[in-house]
Structure 1
Amino acid sequence: MRMEDSRPRFSQRHPLMFGVLMITMAVILFLGVTAFVRAMGWTSGNFALGKDSLGVVHIEGMIMDSTDVVDWINTLRRDEDVKGVLLRVNSPGGAIAPSQEIYEAVKMLAAEKPVVASYATVAASGGYYASVPSQIIVANPGSITASIGVMAEFITVTEALSKLGIKPEVLTTGKYKAAGTPIRELTDEQREQLLGMMLDMHDQFVTDVAEARGMERARIEEVADGRAVTGRQALALGLVDLLGSKQVAFDKLKTMCGIEGTAILVEGPIHEKTFMEEVLGSIQIDISGLTNSVGSWSFSYK
């Protein structure tokens, strides 16, 4: 005859440790399911197969690299189940080339599917440039947008070095090579050459905005002096199409796509969080002051 074990269970002998283990197992299970969902491309409730889907592209913060955003835009463009795309923009601008790469991706997307841009707090300079090919742009009355222009910035420390008795030497193979180095003042020729580059970048910006908005170039040039404007001012200038919230933008997109009722949202690009970020949340570092530097100087749309 088998005797029953009368010893207390592990959960009874170590209730605290048992509780911690159960919580840990629950977290691991949750993360495993989350990873599986992401691997299958399911986001924002996209579990209802066969229903109309709308893509959402988040363009946030300083635009220093376009890879994730462009890849996500192309994914939505190729997905036949995605009927239209909303660009949710909250960016003050950033580096020039990445803004242009997003511009081109949005332009290709808008040639195949309805695209509506929704401006949050700010969609200025590179943030405006990247999203301007959208067929409809919706801004809040108080959104900050436009700021069409190019900025270059650098510092020089020549006077400080001189006071310390330091005399730097810079060897180059050409008179323009060291333009913008912090240990030399710009020469007149270097300043003229850099301004020439900026004017060409500015010309590209104005040309692309005029083309995307279907406006005369002269009208864009009138406001392409770096000024930022509110959403309401932008509407009067023809830089946006509607005033309203994100919901207004979604409703407009659904109408353009012929969708009635609820649509499934497929949002991205996805930021893959670490285990600790998932459990405890992430610590964010503000890089809003950074630009796309070449040597010690930089050009940016901001």
Structure 2
Amino acid sequence: MQASKLKFSQKHPFLFGIMLIIAAVALFAGATAALRVSNGSHMPYFTQEKFGVINVTGFIGDSRKVSDWAYKLRKDDSIKGVIVRINSPGGGVAASQEMYYAIKRLAEVKPVVVSMGTVAASGGYYIAAAGHKIVANPATLTGSIGVKMELPNFQGLMKKIGVSYLSLTSGKLKAAGSPFQSMTKEERDYFQAIIMDMYNQFIDVIVEGRHMKREKILPYADGRAMTGQQALDAGLVDMLGDRETAYMELAKLCKLDAPLPLEEGPKKETSFLKEVLSSVLELSPVNTVREQNSIQLLYN
């Protein structure tokens, strides 16, 4: 008789606890929905302000992840400013340009500070020019402003092994750069014109991003690598310091007393072996990826 008078919570404590949790979740969901209705798509009481971090690492071959992450940070109202952390020897011309434009669009709406790691050379420096400020370590390897085309040639080897080559084309420059024949003066001039056009695009980006006159840049734009200290003396970076220096500089641009929590990306999933190989590539601004029988155009 006494057992029948027990309360539901006493008779079924586990089930009662689950019901309390469900009720709490439903209450929170309702409050969240109410805030969204009253404040539009923004939730100031639940969204924490942050700094975004864009990591540009290793050989630049594919821009999609970095560009997509830059777009997400640009559209996220909780991101008040962005650090672009570069540790790259450069890479493909078009991929470097796509990353540059993605970060430039981001810099049009939010403060962007570039932090250079071990190396930020060639295509890495091209990307850096999109930021409002550039911070380099004194020993960072940077610069290496220029364009390189690699054209392997196997004609001598083919003669030794007795192999001949015949190419039929629709135009006299269609087979230019073939590894199986000598390059004519016309072909050399043709490729040199392509290289110089891309080189001038590189210089134009620096002129715009660094607010420097062309004649001030050209003495340092002969492909030479330089330290962060030398780059500071040349006006190619704004200050010397580490990653924390860049965070503090970004806080100043955002008019904050201290840096905010960080939201880093793009997320990457790599094997241990790939991490080791990437680290080796980052040690030298002159390393490059070579593909047999192909033309390589590199900011590298």
TM-score between both structures, scaled by the size of structure 1: 0.78
Change (3 A) 1:252 1:285: closer
Partner secondary structure for residue 135 of structure 2:
strand
CA distance, structure 1, for counterparts of residue 160 and residue 259 of structure 2? 68
Return the match for 1:233 from 212, 230, 234: 230
Listed one character per residue, the Cα deviations across residues 27-85 of structure 1 (whole Å, up to 9, x for unaligned) are xxxxxxxxxxxxxxxxxxxxx94332000000000111111000100110111100000
Q: Is the 8 A contact 2:179 2:293 kept in 1?
A: no
Partner secondary structure for residue 88 of structure 1:
strand
Q: Is the 8 A contact 1:87 1:117 kept in 2?
A: yes
Q: Is the 8 A contact 2:152 2:293 kept in 1?
A: no
The aligned length equals: 249
Quote the residue 2:70 is aligned against.
73
Partner secondary structure for residue 233 of structure 1:
helix
**Structure 1 residue 121 corresponds to structure 2 residue 118:** yes
Q: Which runs of 4+ in 1 moved over 6 A?
A: none
Higher-Rg structure is: 2
Listed one character per residue, the Cα deviations across residues 80-113 of structure 1 (whole Å, up to 9, x for unaligned) are 1000000000000000011111111111111111
Quote the residue 1:157 is aligned against.
154
CA distance, structure 2, for counterparts of residue 198 and residue 128 of structure 1? 18
CA distance, structure 2, for counterparts of residue 123 and residue 134 of structure 1? 13
Quote the residue 1:109 is aligned against.
106
Superposed displacement of residue 294, structure 1: 10
Superposed displacement of residue 175, structure 1: 1.3
Quote the residue 1:265 is aligned against.
262
Quote the residue 1:204 is aligned against.
201
Quote the residue 2:9 is aligned against.
none
Return the match for 2:51 from 49, 54, 58: 54
Q: Is the 8 A contact 1:94 1:292 kept in 2?
A: no
CA distance, structure 2, for counterparts of residue 115 and residue 225 of structure 1? 27
**Structure 1 residue 252 corresponds to structure 2 residue 243:** no
TM-score between both structures, scaled by the size of structure 2: 0.78
* Aligned-pair Cα RMSD in Å: 2.0
CA distance, structure 1, for counterparts of residue 68 and residue 290 of structure 2? 21
Quote the residue 1:27 is aligned against.
none
Superposed displacement of residue 255, structure 1: 1.8
- Structure 2 unaligned blocks of 5 or more: 1-44, 282-286
Q: Is the 8 A contact 1:139 1:244 kept in 2?
A: yes
CA distance, structure 1, for counterparts of residue 53 and residue 72 of structure 2? 11
Superposed displacement of residue 259, structure 1: 2.6
Quote the residue 2:5 is aligned against.
none
**Structure 1 residue 186 corresponds to structure 2 residue 183:** yes
Partner secondary structure for residue 192 of structure 1:
helix
Quote the residue 1:296 is aligned against.
294
Change (3 A) 1:261 1:201: closer
CA distance, structure 2, for counterparts of residue 294 and residue 213 of structure 1? 37
Q: Is the 8 A contact 2:248 2:259 kept in 1?
A: no
Q: Is the 8 A contact 1:122 1:143 kept in 2?
A: yes
CA distance, structure 1, for counterparts of residue 259 and residue 251 of structure 2? 9
- Structure 1 unaligned blocks of 5 or more: 1-47
Change (3 A) 1:144 1:262: closer
Q: Is the 8 A contact 1:52 1:259 kept in 2?
A: no
State the percentage of identical aligned residues.
Answer: 42
CA distance, structure 1, for counterparts of residue 232 and residue 199 of structure 2? 22
Q: Given residue 301 of structure 1, which amino acid in structure 2 is its aligned partner?
A: Y
